[in-house]
Structure 1
Amino acid sequence: MKLYQSLGPNPRVVLMYLAETGIAVDHRFVDIMTAENRQPGFRAKSPLGHTPLLELDDGRCIAESLAICEYLGEVLGGHALLGATAEERARTRMLVRIVDQLVVVPMTAGFRGAEGLPMFESRVLCLPDAAADLKRLAADGLVQIDRIVGAGPWLAGDRFSLADVLLYCFVEFGAMVGQPPDPALANLVAWQGRVAARPSAAASANPQYGIGEPA
C-alpha cells in the first residue's frame, strides 16, 4: 500500500492516526500548492483530486481521510481508535459525523471563500459571499462540541478516538486561518491542551511525517 500525503488538515488526520496506532504505510508527498493533485496522473487515481489517498496493492484507491483510517484500522490495527465493541464503534462514528457536520464542513467552506480564495477559486466552487456566515456556523459548532466534551477527558469520555483526532486537526487548522476557538470554551480549550500533549500531535504537524526517501 502507498499513502499519498500533502499539506492540510485532512491529510494530518491520517498522519496523526498513524502516529497514534504505529501502523506503517509507504508514503509519497503530493504538492497541492502547485496543484500536483489536479494533474492527470493523480486524477487517474483520485478523480476529485483529493488528498490523502491510499493506493492498495492491487492499484485500487481509497480517498477521504476518515475512510482511510477506518480501512487501516480494520485490516492492520484491530479497529484502532474506532472502538473494541460494536457500541464503541457506533459512538465513534456518531461523534465523527457530529464534528464533521458542525465544524469541518463550515470551517473548510468558510476558509475557501475567504483566506483560501486565491488558491481554491480556480479549483472548486467557493462561496465568498457566504464565508462570514460559514465561519459563524463553525464557531457555533465548536460551542456545541464544548458541551459534548464536558469534563472529558475525551469526546467519548475515557476513550481517545478517531473523533478526537479529527477535531484536533481542524481546531488547529482553524487557529491558523483566522478561525480560532473562543477562549471562553473552557472544556474545549482544556481538551485541546490534553491532545496537544500527545506525541502524535507533534509528529503529525510535519506534513512529511513518515516519509523517507522518495519512492
Structure 2
Amino acid sequence: MLLLDALSPAPRSVRMFLLEKGLRLPVQQVDVFTGENRQAPYLARNPAGQTPALLLDDGSAIAESIAIMEYLEELHPAPALIGATALERALARQWQRRAELNITEYIHNAYHYGEGLARFQGRIPVAPEAAVGLKRVAQDRIAWFDGLLGGGEFLAGARFTVADIWLYVWLDFAASVGQDFDRSLPRLGPWFERVATRPAAAASLHPGCRPGAVRG
C-alpha cells in the first residue's frame, strides 16, 4: 500500500489515525498548493482530485479519509478507533457524521470561498459572497454540538475514536485560517485541549507546516 498524503486537514486525519494505531505506511507527498492533485498523473489514481488516497497493491485506490480509515481498521482492528462491536461502531460513526455534516463542511467551504479564495478559484466553483455566512453557520453548529455532548471524556463517551480525530483536526485547521471556535464552550473547550495533549496530535502535523500558516 502507498498513502498519497498532503498538507491538508483530511490527510492529517489519516496520519493521526495511523499514529494512534501504531501503523506505518509508505507515503508519497502531493503538493496541493500548486494543484498537483488536479493534474493528470494524480487524477489517474484518484479522479476526484482530492487528498488523501490509498493505493492498494493491485493498483486500485481508495479515496476519502473516513473510507481509508474504515478499510485500515478492518485490516488492523486493534486498538479499535471505530469500534469493536456494532454499537461502538455506530456511535463513532454517529458523532463523526454529526461533526462532518454540521461543522467541518462549513469550515471547509468557508475557507475555499474566503481566505483560500486565491488558491481555489479556477480549480473549483467558488462563492465568495457565501464565506461570511458559512463561518456563522459553522460557529452556530459548534455551539449546538457542544450542547449535545454528555460528560464523557471524548465525543462517543469514554472511548477515543475517529470522531475525535476528525473534529480535532478540522478545528485545529480552522483556528489557523481565522475560524477559531469559542474556547469557553463548557464541553468542547476542555475536550479540544485534552485531545491536543495526545502525542499523535502534534506528531500528525505535516512536516511542511510553518508557524502562522495553515495547519494540516
TM-score, with length taken from structure 2: 0.93
Residue of structure 2 equivalent to 1:212: none
Q: Identity, % of aligned pairs?
A: 44
Match of 2:4 in 1: 4
Q: 1:75 to 1:208 in 2, by over 3 A?
A: farther
1:99 and 1:167 in contact (8 A); partners too: yes
Residue 39 of structure 1, CA deviation? 1.2
Corresponding residue SS for 2:102: helix
The 5 Å alignment of 1:28-67 reads 28-67=28-67
Alignment of 1:16-95 (within 5 A): 16-78=16-78, 80-95=80-95
Q: Secondary structure at the match of 2:62?
A: strand
Indicate yes or no: 2:109 matched with 1:109.
yes
Is the CA contact (8 Å cut-off) linking 1:30 and 1:36 kept in structure 2? yes
SS at match of 1:186: coil
Q: Does the aligned pair in 1 maintain the 2:4–2:30 contact within 8 Å?
A: yes
**Counterpart code for 1:50:** Q
State the Cα deviation string for residues 59-96 of structure 1 (Å, max 9, x = none).
10011111101101111234730011001101111111
Secondary structure of the structure 2 residue equivalent to 1:32:
coil
Aligned to 1:176: 176
**Contact (CA 8 Å) 1:70, 1:82: kept in 2 or not?**
yes
SS of match in other structure, 1:54: strand
- How many residues of Structure 1 are paired with residues of Structure 2 in the alignment? 209
CA RMSD of aligned residues (A): 1.5
Structure 1 unpaired stretches of 5+: 210-215
Partner of 2:205: 205
Query: Which 4+ residue blocks in structure 1 deviate beyond 2 angstroms?
Result: 76-80, 148-152, 206-209
Partner of 2:186: 186
**Structure 1 CA distance for aligned equivalents of residues 142 and 198 of structure 2:** 21
- Give the match's secondary structure for 1:33: coil
- CA displacement at 1:126 relative to structure 2: 1.4
Aligned partners of 1:163 and 1:118: how far apart in 2?
A: 31
**Contact 2:6–2:206 (8 Å) recurs in 1:** no
Q: Provide Cα deviations, 1:93-146, integer angstroms capped at 9, x if missing partner.
A: 111110000111111111111000000111111121111111111111211221
Per-residue deviation at 1:24?
Answer: 1.7
**Is 1:167 the equivalent of 2:179?**
no
**Distance in 2, Cα, partners of 1:205 & 1:152:** 26
The answer as to whether partners of 1:5 and 1:207 remain within 8 angstroms in 2 is no
Alpha-carbon distance between aligned partners in 1 of 2:78 and 2:66, rounded to the nearest angstrom? 16
> Shift in Å at residue 208 of structure 1?
6.9
- Name the aligned partner's letter for residue 15 of structure 1: R
Contact 1:107 1:135 in 2 (8 A): yes
1:200, distance to aligned residue in structure 2 (A): 0.4
